[in-house]
Amino acid sequence: MKKLSAALLAAALCLAAPFAMAAQPSDAQVDKLLEVMRARQTIDAMMPQVAASQRQMVAQMTANQKLSPEQQAKLDRLLDKSMASIARAMSWDKLEPVYRDIYRQTFTGEDMDAMIGFYGSPAGQKLLDKMPQLMQNTMAGVQKLLVPMLEEMQRDIEAEIKAAETDRAP
């Protein structure tokens, strides 16, 4: 029985060894990966696309409504305030520590070296060059799915409000 227990313990240690041996990535590896991936530039380039997408979505949602100049100005101020909040939350100063932790928790030092090699290569750089277009196309595709759902939700809310007003009327 002791031999079987010892054999099981030895087998478990052997199976766990690769996980224990996986080296945590160094700060230098994380920094290099974020650099070759152009993480900061990607975030900075994404913000105008997020703003344009948000404005387009609101324009589509309000396309069938006649907004007064005052209502339009109020909506524009609301959008500006929303984008300013998003820009603050998505600033590199706020995101860099999050990225660093995520990459450090997710990948080993060996993984980091492999990704640095790929993203530092011409193919990796080409992927990064195409990423804004890929993201824009993705956002447009998702927007096509979301706008009808949001419009339906808006109609449902308006119907509920009208029903509530009808119920309150004497």
Chain segment 75-93, per-residue pLDDT in tens = 889 889 989 998 899 899 9
pLDDT for 101: 95
Residues written for the chain? 170
Domain layout of the chain by residue ranges: 26-168
pLDDT, mean over the chain: 85
Q: Which residues of 24-34 are buried (b: 16+ CB within 10 A; e: fewer)?
A: ebeeebbebbb
Task: Tally Cβ neighbours within 10 Å of residue 44.
Answer: 13
Q: Please tell me the predicted confidence (pLDDT) of residue 12.
A: 56
Confidence of residue 28 (pLDDT cuts 50, 70, 90): very high
Q: What is the pLDDT of residues 42-65, one digit of tens each?
A: 888 888 888 888 888 888 888 888
pLDDT in tens, 121-156: 999 999 999 987 898 899 899 988 888 888 888 888
pLDDT band at 102 (very low <50, low <70, confident <90, very high): very high
- Mean pLDDT for 97-106 is 95
User: What distances in angstroms separate CA 131 from CA 25, 33, 51, 151, 154, one per listed residue?
Assistant: 25, 16, 17, 29, 33
Tell me what percent of the chain is helix, strand and coil, each rounded to the nearest 5.
85, 0, 15
Whether 20 has a pLDDT exceeding 70, the answer reads: no
Q: What is the dihedral of CA 131, 137, 140, 145, to 10 degrees?
A: -100
What is the Cα–Cα distance from 100 to 28, expressed in whole angstroms?
Answer: 11
Tokens linked to 162: 């009208």
Other beta carbons less than 10 A from residue 39's beta carbon = 19
pLDDT band, very low/low/confident/very high, at 13 (cuts 50, 70, 90): low
Give the pLDDT score at 21.
57
69 touches 159 (CB < 8 A): no
pLDDT band (50, 70, 90) for residue 96? very high
Closest CA to 34 of 85, 89, 96: 96
